[in-house]
A and B are shown apart, each in its own frame.
Chain A
């Protein structure tokens, strides 16, 4: 058989493609826009020439809004009403919301890379920090905030509680609009406390005394979504905050020598956390609970209290049995340390994308969204506690709102670890904290292991 070699054309094509495969990867990607440069130029209000729909322009504009909410979350109904109302007022402005769910930041990064241009981005602002802000992808809103507030006096900026705009903004700028603020609280049903003759405790020991009392009545003290590591972290976050200070976890997590974890107060915090399961303060089977089973069980009276942030009533808005009265108190002081007016808090809200194509129109819409009249249903129907100054009492969250109003200091969940060292939180701390909370690891072993694993982590993440 007189075979000929494989036709040369194919061989050539293969060689070319193989060569392409070996080009350095940096070269294969589109030239980056300077993503580390601080927001500038295009982000200011009124880059000349761009349409200015906030004044009665009639040019059709579509605002692209990427939200970390899912479309079937209860309060989205109120969002849609605000959007419709705004569209009625400004028929030329269409607002297109893409409901991305909680993985918004992760999914958005490659979309931005390939040319998607959102205007408004809505997310947890610590997540926004870690995902977008630290790379300079959000715009400074200062000049917009200087505009007059809608339906109020003073500037838009004046309608926010002091410090709330700055907490997670880029230093020197205002890059966040935290219209939804979530303070960590211990929630309970007023009826349960009445029936058992209890009152809100101010110290850890008082809280444990309540648990002991409830135990005698066979009512587990706390509901706990054990299958959800983020929720299990609330205990360690609050205990270390009270005993050591708001930056306790960040200090320990970012200490590459692992020594900070060995300080005695960390062991004390871990010991207290471990005592909960040892005392039988959680319902049986909590460690395998699948969100939102535990919070639904709690609202139905299967446990007495629930440590979580004040979105809890909002999520339970259509699941609350008649007669249930949401109450809450701030996490108590521990061993006489810390203060109940130091509030751990999440902020949820808007940022404007650095290269937003309709920055002015988007800013105008956000100003409308956060105006008292438009925002009110989110408070009265869905219990949003807000970073806006407000006289409206949020449904089922009056306690949280007044606790925030009385706050002398605020700090982020897990001391801001979500923003500072998210991967550490997820792959080192949360798994160990789960074991501690479930009683699989003694407090001492937890400290030994977390210290060692912190050293290991930073070795492999230099």
Chain B
């Protein structure tokens, strides 16, 4: 629930490829084997847990309580239909897409020019400004949620997606600026100089030369924001109060409370899958980029 301050999304830096030899020594081999087994078991439990939710979301409650492990003979997609319409996950899905995409686009659009001049222009107070913005990564949501909620309510943005997006952009800015500043700093200066000699304006240099060069970094920052905002729950809970404006997280929360009246666990898991699936799919497709960007981030 803090502003995202994960070490960095940034260009992938491929490590040296040579593989160190496997560790040797018979002593500890069995202990090592047990350790490996444990780590792999934890990994398996993660796949199993997530897979189990998907399978369960396709069962009827009767099937679930008859045997929690059994894979249903025919998938019951009506759980999804119910969650989507009656459970309000359909409307919430749209809200989540708007909030997540809108915020991620806006935050990168705001952060990129700022990061560009912060990393590549010379002016007094630059370091101070960089540090001041980076300090924003340390402001936890729990400190500011009451003033923010009061402020947004007083300008008519309480209980609205627009208000939520403003907050998302604000809390994600420090991290995004920080990461992109680091990224722009790694780009070569010669191209910039060459463009100036060719008569390009400073804005033109940024727009036509640097921005395209920075695309991998922008993309990584964008995706990190997408994933982070997709799973954001606290701010949505604080700000959104009526069902029509709910994002998926709060819609699932309200479903969790109200499905209690029906004891409809499989319907609840269908809602869980609706919430979880986009993030998991994006992750599976891009997992290497993720892991590598953390590799890069931890370098600092």
Contact = CB atoms under 8 A, between A and B. Distances in A.
Q: Do chains A and B touch in the complex (CB under 8 A)?
A: yes
Interface of A: 1, 3-7, 25, 28-30, 70-74, 98-102, 107-108, 110-111, 113-115, 291-293, 296, 315, 319
A116 B77 CA distance: 37
Nearest to A291: B260
A80 to B, nearest CB: 12
Interface string B117-154: 00000111110010000000000000000010111011
A110 B124 contact: no
Interface in B256-272: 257-263
Contact of B261 (A110, A114, A315): A315
B158 interface: yes
A30 B124 contact: no
Nearest to B132: A14
B261 A100 contact: no
B258 A101 contact: yes
B241 interface: yes
22 contacts: A5-B124, A28-B151, A29-B150, A29-B154, A30-B154, A70-B257, A70-B258, A70-B261, A71-B88, A72-B261, A98-B243, A100-B242, A101-B258, A107-B241, A107-B242, A110-B158, A111-B242, A113-B153, A114-B158, A114-B159, A115-B156, A319-B263
A28 B150 contact: yes
A221 to B, nearest CB: 23
B242 A98 contact: yes
Contacts of A100: 241-243
Interface in B151-171: 151, 153-154, 156, 158-159
Nearest to B244: A98
A72 B258 contact: yes
B258 A6 contact: no
A110 B241 contact: yes
Contacts of B159: 110-111, 114
Contacts of A7: 123
A267 to B, nearest CB: 35
B110 to A, nearest CB: 15
A345 B261 CA distance: 21
Given A72-B261, A101-B257, A292-B261, 14 more contacts: A1-B122, A3-B124, A6-B124, A28-B151, A28-B154, A29-B150, A30-B154, A70-B254, A74-B262, A110-B159, A110-B241, A111-B242, A114-B156, A291-B260
Nearest to A75: B261
B259 A99 contact: no
Nearest to B151: A28
Across the A-B interface, the 3 shortest Cβ-Cβ residue pairs: A70-B258, A3-B124, A6-B125
B86 interface: yes
A71 B154 contact: no
Contacts of B151: 28
Contacts of B124: 3-6
A195 to B, nearest CB: 25
A54 B156 CA distance: 33
